[in-house]
Structure 1
């Protein structure tokens, strides 16, 4: 996951996402981090398929993501 060698964001597949999530405790809550320069956290909402893609809906802004999250994502 992440960026490929040219620095462009790369899309991941459902299988890659599932594999990445399987390394964590299944009881942990999930947040979506956005805006690398000023990381914010959002709740994950509904998941659906449309136009040959799986869409993960956003279910509300929670605040700013902690520095630890930004560092773990490679944003700092």
Structure 2
């Protein structure tokens, strides 16, 4: 999970996400990185269940993500 591979579709489950997040300090803030070519930083919004899936809403752009974010996500 967490690696961008062009042409490969991989669905992430709730269990996958929980397992990934266990590696981090529970007090850390969470952001969404959007757009691999020019990563933007978005706040995480509400979480809901609909249509048999869990949806994580975004709560607005906070700026552009540092270059390190794209590198760590495997986008560069």
Same fold (TM over 0.5): yes
Aligned to 2:72: 72
> Does the Cα contact within 8 Å between 1:3 and 1:9 map onto a contact in 2?
no
Aligned to 1:54: 54
> Does the Cα contact within 8 Å between 2:42 and 2:62 map onto a contact in 1?
yes
Q: Tell me how far 1:3 sits from its aligned partner.
A: 4.9
Q: d(CA) in 1 for partners of 2:13 and 2:29?
A: 21
TM-score relative to the length of structure 2:
0.91
Aligned to 2:41: 41
In angstroms, what is the RMSD of aligned CA positions?
1.5
Q: Which runs of 5+ in 2 are unaligned?
A: none
Q: d(CA) in 1 for partners of 2:20 and 2:30?
A: 12
| Cα-to-partner distance string for 1:9-68 (whole Å, 9 max, x where unaligned) | 311000000000000000100000010001001000000000000000000100101001
Higher RCO structure, 1 or 2 (CA under 8 Å, sep 6+): 2
TM-score relative to the length of structure 1:
0.91
Q: Which runs of 5+ in 1 are unaligned?
A: none
> Does the Cα contact within 8 Å between 1:43 and 1:62 map onto a contact in 2?
yes
Count residues with an aligned counterpart: 75
